[in-house]
Structure 1
C-alpha cells in the first residue's frame, strides 16, 4: 500500500506523536519536565503529578476556602443559599479558573471584584445567577455556565436536551468538552455548600452547645483531638429531627458513637446523629426534613446525655454552626 520510504516517514511521525504525548500528557512526562526545569533553573508548565489521577488540574479548587468565615446573619431564601454556595466555591478557585465567572459578570455589568468580596459577594453572585436564569433554566446548568463559561454550558445543555436526559450536573458534565474538570469540581462543591446552607437544626433552636467543633482536650482520653461535630445539651429522650430530606445510610450501635444514624442528603452532604437512646428509622429508608428519627440519649462513649451532631461535605467534617444563620453559640461545657 505504501512505498518503503512512505512507511518509514509514517513510522517516524507516529513515533514523534507518541513521544509528544508522553512528554505532555503523562505523569512520567510531567516528572521529567519538572526535573529538567529544576536542573536548568527554568519554569515548568507540567501539571502536578497527582492531577493526572484525581482529574483536577493545577488551576483547581482550594478546599480551605470552602468554609464560610462566619455564618449568615439571617435565614436565607432558596435563591440566597445557592448564591452563598456559589460565592464560596468561586473564592476557592485559583485565579485562572475564575475567568469564566468574571467574564460573565462583566457581560452583565456586575463589578468583578464584588464577586469575591466577603460582604458583597453573595449578593453579586445572586445577580450573576439571576442574569443567567433565562438562558439556563436549571440551577445545575447555571452553575455549569458560571464555572465553565456560557458557550461550553450552552453546548452541554443542548446535548443533554437532545438525548432527553435530566439536567443534572452529572449529565451536563458528561457533555462538556475535555478540559473542564475544574468546572465540574467547583460546581459540585457549590451544590454541596448550597445544601449545607439550607439545613435545619436537629433539636430546638435554643439548645445550648456544650462542646463546639474543633480541637479540644478529649473529656475521657485526656489527649488533644479534633471534635468533628457539635455537642448539643439535651435531656435524654429529646426528639431528634432530620435536618433535610435524605436516605438513611447507617443505623447501628458501637462503643464510641452509641446508637448512631447517618443520613445522606445527596450532593456530597451527610449528617450524623450520635449517642441516641433509640433509633426510629432503618437503613435505606427515605426521610423528610423535620421527621423525628431518634430519641437522644447517653449511649456509647459519653459523659452525659446529649446529641453529637456532625455535618460532612464530600466526606470531610465541617463546623455546622458556620452554615447556621444567626449562629452565635458559645460552648459552656465539654461533653463527648
Structure 2
C-alpha cells in the first residue's frame, strides 16, 4: 500500500508520537520530567499528571514570587469576622511570618496605637489588619502596593514604586520585589500569601448556599476503590442538570473530560487561586474564555468516577488543594451523610 520510503517515514512519525505520549502522559514520563527539572533547577509541568494518578486532583496554577517562603501556606483558622477578605488574608499571612520579619508591621501598628499582641489574636487580628491597610490606603491606593508597604515597609516600597514607574511597568508585587534590597524575601512571600488568601476569602459558592455536603475535604475511605485517599474538595448534593456558577471572575484553564473527573472545568482566578468543578453533564465555556463572577459555566451531572449525581468543588492555592469550607466565613452548607460521592 505504501512505498518503502513513505512507510519508513510513517513508522518514524508513529515512534516519535509514542515517545512524546510516554513523556507527557504516563507516570514514568512525568517522573523523569520532574527529576530532570529538579536537576536543572527549573519548574516542572509533571505535577498535575502525577497528582492525577495519585488521586489528588492537582492542577497547575501560578506560584508565589520567586524566593518567597510560600511552599506552605500559614495555618488556616476558622474566622468569624466581618473584616473584608483582604484584611483576613493579611492577618493570616502575618501570623505565618517569622518573628524577625514582623518589624515593619509592628512599626506601623505602633504609629496607630495598636498593641502587637492584637495582630496575632484570632478575634482582634483581622480588624487590626483592616486598620493597618486603611492607614496605608491614601498613599498606596493599589492593593498590591499597599500590601508591599505593609510587609516590607513604606520606605523600600516608595523607592521600588518610583523605579517601576520610571521603567513604565505595572505597580505589581512582582515588579516591586525586584527593586527591594536583599533580606525582604519573607515580606514578598507574606504579601503574595495575603493576596491569595484574600482572593479565596472573597469567593462565592458554585451552587445555592444551603446545598448539603455529602463528603467533606480530607482523608476518607474511597467509595469506589475502597482505599484511604485524600478527598481534595467537597461533594455538593445537587440534581443532574443543576446550574454551576463561577465563584469569581477568571479565565478558563481547562474544559475537558477524563475517566476520573468526568466533564471537568478549571478556572484560574489569578494570584495563585484556581477552582475546579467536576462530574458535570455539560460544560458551557471553553478554555481561554474569561468568565464573570456568578456566570453559568456548567451543569452538574454524574460523569467520570462517580456514585451519583453531585458536584465536586475544589479550591487550590499555589497548586495545593485546600478545604474550601475554611474560607466560608459567612455561612456553611449543612453536612449530609450517606449520599453520593466520588474520588
TM range, normalised to the smaller chain?
A: 0.7 to 0.9
Q: Report the CA distance between 1:62 and its aligned residue.
A: 7.9
Whole-angstrom distance in 2 between the partners of 1:83 and 1:333: 38
Match of 2:60 in 1: none
Compared CA separation, residues 276 and 330, structure 1 to 2 (3 A): same
| Pair 1:224 & 2:228 matched | yes
Q: Report the CA distance between 1:318 and its aligned residue.
A: 0.5
Match of 1:63 in 2: 72
Whole-angstrom distance in 1 between the partners of 2:75 and 2:190: 10
Match of 2:321 in 1: 317
Whole-angstrom distance in 1 between the partners of 2:115 and 2:134: 15
| Structure 1: 5+ residue stretches without partners | 1-53
Deviations 1:124-172 (A, max 9, x none): 0100111111221211111111111121111112222222322111221
Q: Is the 8 A contact 1:71 1:321 kept in 2?
A: no
Q: Is the 8 A contact 1:71 1:326 kept in 2?
A: no
Q: Report the CA distance between 1:66 and its aligned residue.
A: 4.0
Whole-angstrom distance in 2 between the partners of 1:73 and 1:115: 14
Q: Is the 8 A contact 1:229 1:310 kept in 2?
A: yes
Q: Is the 8 A contact 2:78 2:329 kept in 1?
A: no
Match of 1:100 in 2: 104
Q: Is the 8 A contact 1:271 1:311 kept in 2?
A: yes
| Pair 1:137 & 2:145 matched | no
Choose 283-292 or 162-171, whichever is displaced more. 162-171
Q: Is the 8 A contact 1:61 1:93 kept in 2?
A: no
Question: What number of residue pairs does the alignment pair up?
Answer: 275
Q: Is the 8 A contact 1:250 1:283 kept in 2?
A: yes
Whole-angstrom distance in 1 between the partners of 2:299 and 2:116: 48
SS in 2 for 1:332: coil
TM-score, normalising length from structure 1?
0.78
2:184 aligns with one of 172, 180, 184:
180
- Calculate the aligned-residue CA RMSD, in Å: 1.6
Highest Rg: 1 or 2? 1
| Pair 1:72 & 2:76 matched | no
Whole-angstrom distance in 1 between the partners of 2:192 and 2:81: 25
Match of 2:30 in 1: none
Match of 2:291 in 1: 287
Whole-angstrom distance in 1 between the partners of 2:100 and 2:71: 13
Aligned ranges 1:28-39 → 2 under 5 Å: none
Q: Is the 8 A contact 1:62 1:93 kept in 2?
A: no
Match of 1:261 in 2: 265
| Structure 2: 5+ residue stretches without partners | 1-65
SS in 2 for 1:179: coil
SS in 2 for 1:55: coil
Q: Report the CA distance between 1:324 and its aligned residue.
A: 1.3
Whole-angstrom distance in 1 between the partners of 2:148 and 2:137: 12
Q: Is the 8 A contact 2:70 2:193 kept in 1?
A: no
Q: Report the CA distance between 1:299 and its aligned residue.
A: 0.2
Whole-angstrom distance in 1 between the partners of 2:229 and 2:110: 46
Match of 1:333 in 2: 338
Q: Report the CA distance between 1:278 and its aligned residue.
A: 0.5
Q: Report the CA distance between 1:314 and its aligned residue.
A: 0.4
Choose 181-190 or 248-257, whichever is displaced more. 181-190
2:159 aligns with one of 133, 155, 159:
155
Q: Is the 8 A contact 1:62 1:94 kept in 2?
A: no
Q: Is the 8 A contact 1:262 1:273 kept in 2?
A: yes
TM-score, normalising length from structure 2?
0.77
Compared CA separation, residues 98 and 61, structure 1 to 2 (3 A): farther
Whole-angstrom distance in 2 between the partners of 1:71 and 1:310: 20
Whole-angstrom distance in 1 between the partners of 2:237 and 2:193: 31
Q: Report the CA distance between 1:71 and its aligned residue.
A: 4.2
